[in-house]
Structure 1
Amino acid sequence: MTNAIAPRKDEPGDDSRVAGRSIAPRMPVTALSPVQLEDRATIYRSETARREVDAFRELRTQLLSLADGNFVTLVAPVSRGSGGSFVARNLAVAVAFDESKSALLVDCDLRHPSQAATMKVSLSNGGLIDYLEDPEGNAEDVLYDTGVPRLRLLPAGKSRETGAEYFSSFRMRLLLDSLRSRYPSCHLFLDAPPVRGAPDARILADLADVVVLVAGYGRDTPAAIAQAAAGFDPKKFAGVVFNEGV
């Protein structure tokens, strides 16, 4: 995996709140073993240097240099199969390596959600769509331990053909604003659907502070990458990650 991240100016979020119990990411009851993490295509710390882990640590360092405090990062693949979910998950894990920080991974690919299945998380209370469709829903109920210290998952829940009306809703914005403003050590990563073919990723970009585009190495053409990047606000656009595999 190769990467290129460009610096940008940060924009502060508001301090909107959502009533309810604590929704801060917490430590899992039982941490996963290295074998279990490899089975989940998830990086982990070890005594031996590993190229993949080092790459995500470098990406994390570059992202954290863009702004003070926590922020919302949108990770959007150019096309399906580019590896956006893989990059989003492991960027969140890399942030959670730091014991002073935590991370929340939000699966926003409503048509093809994958994070819960990949991380083998059992959805007892649904996910993001269930929360957004229920005015009385409590965000804490749809945040799940992942087995990775300081990383929790907000899965997509019910599948939908499009997320445009959900992602542009006031309830969605209020949820994200609450998570970031109430818990300053928690960084949010939005796993977006592909940029090509639907407006969802661009709508989600309005909710994010930083946008990272994921291109499949040897898969997405320079023209396709440039076209996808052009759809995002240059002030938010951090750069392109070239992913060699999903």
Structure 2
Amino acid sequence: MSRLHALMRNADDGDIHAAFENAARGHAIAPMEEHTQLSPAQMEERSLICNGPGPRVDVNAFRELRTRLLAVGDGRSFVTLVVPVSRGSGGSYVCRNLAAAFAFDETKSAVLIDCNPYHPSQHQTMHIEPYRGGLVDYLGDSAAESSDVVYETGIPRLRLIPAGNVNGSGGEYFSSPRMQLLLDTLRNRYPARYLFLDGPAVRGAPDARILADLVDLVVLVAGHGRDSAASIAQAAANFDPNKFAGVVLNQAP
């Protein structure tokens, strides 16, 4: 497992306290059908944090990120883009586990969407066979329903939309009206639903900037010892300051 250090945009204690108060007043969402539930060993195999007994360093790190995002989000359900500065910085790991941390809260649900057309990985890591296709298939088929490409993950209240049959033209798909329709449909299906887009690296392709136009918040992931301060600052400059939530340093143990 990786160790995380969050350098999120500052939220004062009042904001964080209010976020906890709002969560405490919430109620568990309507039960979502779950045919199987992952064991702790299966979660570890999938590089997922496990909200159970034992060491909780990574769990607490992601819970802290969740709290800070909720404070920045000011009580609204939101769509978050998680992108690495460069490939190999751990963006998919952070996105997957941030979505899981939100799903651990019984008052919330989360959808993890693999938006990396160049190196899709979430379905492989999660051991999910996308037999109904995925995001690209939905975006390219006007007759497809969003429910066609949503898969159970084995974690209650967490769903996955895999990348699907990618052909390398992700940016054009992401700027289509169907992409916005999908995000709106998913967000409004349940109260307190949060969407997490696993995007490609900022360096090397415009897709991260295209996706940023569709979301409420952007989280940048930097590899500790991999991405320099200058490259992090350069990557952050690609995003609207009003959407930019901050930087997560992903550090190998």
Gaps of 5+ in 2: 12-29
Any idea what the Cα deviations from partners look like across 1:97-155, whole Å, max 9, x if unmatched?
Answer: 10111000000001110000000001110100000111100110100000011100000
Confirm or deny that 1:71 pairs with 2:78: yes
Any idea what the Cα deviations from partners look like across 1:71-114, whole Å, max 9, x if unmatched?
Answer: 00000100000000000000000000101110000000011100
Q: Equivalent residue of 2:144, what SS?
A: coil
1:49 to partner: Cα distance: 3.8
Q: 1:199 aligns with which of 195, 198, 206?
A: 206
Alpha-carbon distance in structure 1 between the residues aligned to 2:86 and 2:8:
19
- Within 5 A, what are the aligned runs for 1:120-131? 120-131=127-138
Contact 1:109/1:191, CA 8 A, preserved across alignment: yes
Alpha-carbon distance in structure 1 between the residues aligned to 2:190 and 2:214:
17
| Corresponding letter in the other structure for 2:6 | N
Normalising by structure 2, report the TM-score. 0.88
- Within 5 A, what are the aligned runs for 1:134-213? 134-213=141-220
Deviates more, 1:79-88 or 1:181-190: 181-190
Q: Equivalent residue of 1:65, what SS?
A: helix
In the TM superposition, structure 1's runs of 4+ consecutive aligned residues that sit over 3 Å from their partners are none
Confirm or deny that 1:94 pairs with 2:101: yes
Q: 1:217 aligns with which of 224, 230, 233?
A: 224
Contact 1:74/1:212, CA 8 A, preserved across alignment: yes
1:48 to partner: Cα distance: 2.6
Alpha-carbon distance in structure 2 between the residues aligned to 1:233 and 1:33:
40
Alpha-carbon distance in structure 2 between the residues aligned to 1:92 and 1:164:
23
Alpha-carbon distance in structure 2 between the residues aligned to 1:126 and 1:245:
33
Contact 1:82/1:245, CA 8 A, preserved across alignment: no
Q: Equivalent residue of 1:174, what SS?
A: helix
Q: 1:200 to 1:154 in 2, by over 3 A?
A: same
More helix by share: 2
Alpha-carbon distance in structure 2 between the residues aligned to 1:119 and 1:49:
22
1:25 to partner: Cα distance: 9.2
Matched with 1:2 is 5
Normalising by structure 1, report the TM-score. 0.90
How many percent identity over aligned positions?
Answer: 60
Structure with more relative contact order (C-alpha pairs < 8 Å, separation 6 or more): 1
Contact 1:108/1:191, CA 8 A, preserved across alignment: yes
The CA RMSD over aligned residues, in Å, is: 1.7
Contact 1:83/1:245, CA 8 A, preserved across alignment: no
Q: 1:136 to 1:129 in 2, by over 3 A?
A: same
Q: 1:36 aligns with which of 38, 42, 50?
A: 42
Q: 1:7 to 1:175 in 2, by over 3 A?
A: farther
